[in-house]
Structure 1
């Protein structure tokens, strides 16, 4: 990846560009693969290569992905990679205009839908996973009475823990230790609610 750390999206144009269902899936697939061609990604998302290429160019136009060094013998294919370790965005960056808030909400809802779809996919395919993986998988809901500052602190601490596990997995993969490793999604949300 070109730079380490997350890229914070603060402009509505980039958020709109990311907030397309296929682009979100392509970004996720590219993030997991680290580098890939439009053909490889098209196979993963079951779309035409020309459509995937178009959407990859849109992501690149907003600096979310970039061309990567060619791999393999076929120098004609374009390789892509993410420009950062991930993407973040927050409502505070889009307040002040109703249309900006609406874009933030729409993208966040779409991301939530895709996360739920990913989890449902695991649930539908549970019988194909080993007992070891099914016992390791988790889903929970935790409730606490916190202040806004405590919720922010919780987010930072959970992010640090997940970051350590991500680094451990990347180091192992770089060392060739891929036995028994699978892609794992951890979705966390912390938000206030009233009953």
Structure 2
């Protein structure tokens, strides 16, 4: 990847570019692969190469991905990579106008729907993973009583912990490793 850290998305144009269902799938797949061609990504998302190429260019226009150095001698292949280690999208950056708040809400719903789809797929395929993976895969809910500062502290600690494991996985032996999604939601609620 070309830049360390997470990129903060603060403008509606970039948010809308990422909040397209296919573009978000492509961005997620590219983050997992680290580098890929449109053909490789098209196979993963089961779409036409031309359509995938179009959407990759849109992501690049908004600085979410960059062209990567060629990975093979075939100069016709165009390789792509994420421009950062991820993105962060904060509610506070989209509160100052109703259209910005609506775009943020729509994007957040799409991201969560895709995450839920990923988890449902795992549940449907759970028997193919075997007992070791199934025992290791957490599925829990904690109902805490926190104030906003404590919830923020918890979020920061969880992000740091995930970053530690991400760094370990990128520098260690790849044997026995699989892609693992960790989705954490922390939100206030009333009964």
TM, length-normalised to structure 2: 0.99
Q: Paired residue for 1:83? A: 83
Deviations 1:130-184 (A, max 9, x none): 2111111111111111000110000001111111011100111xxxx11110000
Q: Within 5 Å, which residues of 2 pair with 1:8-157?
A: 8-157=8-157
Q: Distance in 1 between matches of 2:126 and 2:161?
A: 26
* Cα offset, 1:75, TM superposition: 1.0
Is residue 183 from structure 1 mapped to residue 155 from structure 2 by the alignment?
Answer: no
Q: Let me know the Cα RMSD of the aligned residues.
A: 0.6
* Cα offset, 1:11, TM superposition: 0.4
TM, length-normalised to structure 1: 0.97
Q: Distance in 2 between matches of 1:9 and 1:99?
A: 16
Count of aligned residue pairs for this structure pair = 191
Aligned to 1:162, what secondary structure does the other structure show?
Answer: helix
Q: Distance in 1 between matches of 2:23 and 2:83?
A: 15
* Cα offset, 1:73, TM superposition: 1.8
Deviations 1:79-110 (A, max 9, x none): 00000000111110011111100000000000
